[in-house]
Amino acid sequence: MKLSRRRALSLFASAAAAAAASSRVISASAQNADRHGMSAFGDLKYPPDFPHFSYVNPNAPKGGMFSQIGPNRQFNQSFQTFNSLNSFILKGDAAQGMELTFATLMVRSGDEADAMYGLAASSVRISDDELTYRFTLRSQAKFHDGTPLTAHDVAWSLTTLKEKGHPIITQQLRDFTGAEAADDRTVVARFAEKRGRDVPLFVAALPVFSRAYYSKKPFDESTLDIPLGSGAYKVGRFQVGHFIEFERVKDWWGADLPVSRGQSNFDVLRFEYYRDREVGFEGFTAKNYLFREEFTSRTWATRYDFPAFKEGRVKRDVLPDDTPSGAQGWFINTRRDKFRNRRVREALIDAFDFEWTNKNIMYGSYERTHSVFQNSPMMAKGKPDTAELALLEPFRGKLPDEVFGEPYVPPVTDGSGQDRQWLRRGAQLLNDAGCSLNKGKRVLPSGKPITIEFLIDEPTFQPHHLPYIKNLSVLGIDATLRVVDPVQYRARVDGFDFDITVERFSFSATPGDSLRTFFSSQAAATKGTQNLAGIADPAVDTLVDIIIAAKTRAELTAACKALDRVIRAGRYWIPHWYKASHWIAYWDVFGHPASKPRYFRGIPETWWYDRDKAAKLDHKG
């Protein structure tokens, strides 16, 4: 019998009643009062009169340029090219950084797990049932053309994003039921009962668009028209597929707010695009851009010997990364019949020799990833505790037995490149799945040969694929590697037209509704979502609902550990590797605070251009 969401929630509530009751008392005390900030569990580090975030230099000078290859993308943005300036819909490949041009109701603090403080909104009032949020807007908030940013713009923006936004946005707005403007400065956002805990936070972080601007053009078109924004930056020069610049708005209305002081210090933020990492690195050595986060271990270990680095004009640092490292790996498209059997997927994991790859290709720089919550307290370890078992017991008999014991860990090989022990085990798993050898080729029970196409959009991962493909051939599996252009890659992945592809994702320290886009049955059937593996499991759906409804961090952590056990038991991906740090290199023209915020890289947000350093650098050059 399928466990209902209501039943699962009641079971979990019984297991943690005391903690939940305590949370409700804390939460209730904060209702019916205007608040300068909010968080998932009601805790805030900064008081109402705080002058600035503690990790910034409030006196940082303004000016200069910061240029980089963007390390992150959101929604339809691409790492390697762009053909659109609309980054909030599914169509097109948008430029990185477009979010810089739009103000949001609130912004996150970098040294708290999920706290947000007012930007366009000066305060928020939350109803007793936590289903209605009344945001009061600042009177000085305006768009770049000088027109006021009003509650009508906010309500229109939220409604439009729910109806026409990127699938990731629309899924996370499932529990957002609507918004209306009570007057020009008051917007009321409403949420469904049993809403996701982080949905109001997601809503507060969405961009505010000009209703008047979009009254003259469709919102959901892929376009290179520069949109009317209201953020600290506006779009400047750009060349499609090559670079885009964002210019600081000199008289920006939000510059002196506590959430803004000491940030947005550069006059120009520039994103460079290279389709080949090797060419991108050469561009950095030639000072075509000024900052680089290094993601290639071979380059970090062997290539920083160019003259500017030896002369001290280029610096390197290793910054700690205290955020959950998440999951990187080869994600297996279980929508395809050949991958539906769990034993087949486990055989694919057994064929990958991480130890050899780490030593011979990545200079021993990485550790093996085990969990979707790697490098965090939410990662399952050892046998389930009482709280985890309370969540998992209703599924006993429907889930693999290992879920109730030690969590799955991928094999540790002898590092030879072809560990016979694990290849033999992989062959046995395939035999057990009914996939026999026929004239040296592995075939499905139907008699159809098992073939695999690995799909990637740039050649950096070729050296990692080739020895793995060779091991698969030992099992009788014909595998090939296909490199396609970024636009074709995005279209194929969004449409689930692939066998196996490389992806990396991570979650915040307080994951919530976003988990649905990665793991839910609904996401498995929705094009453009992040559930690449096609996970569609009632146990996963229920545990995600429990995580979203958790009232305390203890409840959240227990439910995440339970979810981690179930996902790892499903063998949905061939885990890659991670490191709990950022490798950064930069031309020595920047100043920065003494330490980074715990939950952000903080670059370029808190850095600034140092004219004295730049003058010395030019003199050295």
Quick: pLDDT tens for 533-556: 999 999 999 999 999 989 899 999
pLDDT score for 96: 97
In tens, the pLDDT along 433-451 reads 999 999 999 999 999 999 9
Mean pLDDT on 485-500: 95
CB 197 within 8 A of CB 204: no
* Total structural domains within the chain: 1
| Range in 194-203, 207-216, 402-411, 577-586 the model is least confident about | 194-203
**In the chain, pLDDT over 90 holds for what percent of residues?**
86
In tens, the pLDDT along 132-157 reads 999 999 999 999 999 999 999 999 99
**In the chain, pLDDT over 70 holds for what percent of residues?**
95
CB 331 within 8 A of CB 501: yes
In a domain, 343, yes or no: yes
In a domain, 373, yes or no: yes
Mean pLDDT on 329-352: 98
pLDDT score for 360: 96
In tens, the pLDDT along 71-129 reads 988 999 999 999 999 999 999 999 999 999 999 999 999 999 999 999 999 999 999 99
Side chain identity at 5, as an amino acid letter? Answer: R
First to last CA, the chain: 72
Strand partners, 584: 293, 317
In tens, the pLDDT along 166-225 reads 999 999 999 999 999 999 999 999 999 988 888 999 999 999 999 999 999 999 999 999
Task: Please report the DSSP string for 411-467 in residue order.
Answer: PP--SSSS-HHHHHHHHHHHHHTT--EETTEEB-TTS-B-EEEEEESSGGGHHHHHH
CB 148 within 8 A of CB 75: no
Collapsed DSSP state (helix, strand, coil) of residue 361: coil
Residues 6+ apart with CB under 8 A from 393: none
In the predicted structure, residue 26 carries a pLDDT above the cut 80: no
Mean pLDDT on 238-261: 97
| Range in 15-19, 48-52, 153-157 the model is least confident about | 15-19
pLDDT score for 621: 60
In a domain, 401, yes or no: yes
Look up tokens 């030879």; give the residue.
416
Q: In this structure, what is the dihedral angle of CA atoms 66, 72, 78, 79, given to the nearest 10 degrees?
A: 70
In a domain, 309, yes or no: no
* Residue 565 lies in domain: 327-578
CA distance 289 to 395: 53
Strand partners, 137: 121
In a domain, 232, yes or no: no
The CATH code of the domain that includes 463 is 3.10.105.10
Dihedral of alpha carbons 197, 202, 203, 205, sign: positive
The residue count of the chain comes to 621
Side chain identity at 471, as an amino acid letter? Answer: N
Q: Tell me 404's DSSP state.
A: G
In tens, the pLDDT along 521-535 reads 999 999 998 999 999
Mean pLDDT on 326-346: 96
Residue of 187, 203, 126 lying closest to 154 (CA atoms): 187
Residue of 370, 481, 329, 348 lying closest to 423 (CA atoms): 348
Residue of 442, 449, 462, 292 lying closest to 361 (CA atoms): 462
In tens, the pLDDT along 594-612 reads 999 999 999 999 999 999 9
In a domain, 252, yes or no: no
Query: 487: exposed, middle or buried (C-beta count within 10 Å: 0-12, 13-18, 19+)?
Result: middle
Looking at the whole model, is its pTM more than 0.75?
yes
In the predicted structure, residue 18 carries a pLDDT above the cut 50: no
In tens, the pLDDT along 364-382 reads 999 999 999 999 999 999 9
In the predicted structure, residue 505 carries a pLDDT above the cut 80: yes
